[in-house]
């Protein structure tokens, strides 16, 4: 009888421990994905395609209007028919008051790695050595890691500034279907990119 009570007590302690610590662990998992550097002025603000609500463009426009970059580069290939993600983002930025002369486009890429690789010739052409990378919060660690790896030999400084007003909400993310998808997708993608050397 005493032995059964002992094991029941252990089981209760474990269950309670998991119940109270699991939210902290899960929140920590998502927090790990978010990389936000101390922002300083750069030569270019790069906006990565991939959101469906314009949060990345809005963040980049704020940075532009606050003087953190004199030009913006929209990156992203085909969306549908002849429309590309970069063109759609350019239209959004124009509507928010950014002049056309301040916007560059890269309209062929289909992945984070292609974003970094296809942008590099544009950076070299314009002698750009510092960039601010704007994406969604959960994508920011992978994006910065890929860009830093691709640009390390070129001595290009990469700062990460994920959208501050984002759809993703850190507290209780595992209780919301869309946020759960975002976090799980990023962990799968991190493993995939790690295996590819990024």
Q: Which pLDDT score, from 0 to 100, does residue 16 have?
A: 53
The single-letter DSSP state of residue 102 is G
d(C-alpha 148, C-alpha 90), whole Å? 25
Report the distance separating Cα 86 and Cα 66, nearest Å: 22
pLDDT of residue 133: 98
pLDDT tens for 74-84 read 999 998 888 99
Q: According to the model, what pLDDT value does residue 112 have? A: 96
- Please check the confidence at residue 192 and state whether its pLDDT lies above 80: yes
Hey, which residues does 130 pair with through a beta bridge? 157
């Amino acid at each position: 009888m005493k032995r059964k009570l002992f094991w029941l007590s252990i089981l209760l302690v474990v269950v309670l421990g998991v119940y109270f610590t699991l939210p902290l662990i899960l929140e920590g998992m998502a927090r790990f994905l978010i990389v936000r550097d101390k922002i300083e002025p750069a030569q270019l603000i790069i906006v990565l395609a991939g959101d469906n609500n314009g949060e990345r463009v809005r963040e980049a426009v704020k940075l532009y209007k606050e003087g953190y970059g004199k030009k913006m580069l929209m990156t992203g290939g085909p969306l549908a028919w002849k429309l590309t993600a970069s063109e759609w983002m350019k239209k959004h930025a124009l509507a928010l008051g950014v002049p056309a002369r301040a916007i560059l486009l890269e309209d062929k890429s289909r992945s984070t790695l292609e974003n970094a690789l296809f942008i590099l010739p544009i950076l070299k052409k314009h002698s750009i050595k510092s960039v601010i990378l704007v994406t969604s919060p959960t994508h920011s660690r992978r994006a910065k890691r890929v860009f830093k790896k691709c640009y390390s030999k070129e001595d290009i400084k990469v700062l990460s500034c994920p959208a501050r007003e984002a759809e993703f909400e850190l507290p209780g993310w595992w209780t919301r279907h869309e946020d759960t998808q975002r976090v799980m997708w990023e962990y799968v993608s991190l493993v995939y990119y790690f295996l590819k050397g990024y």
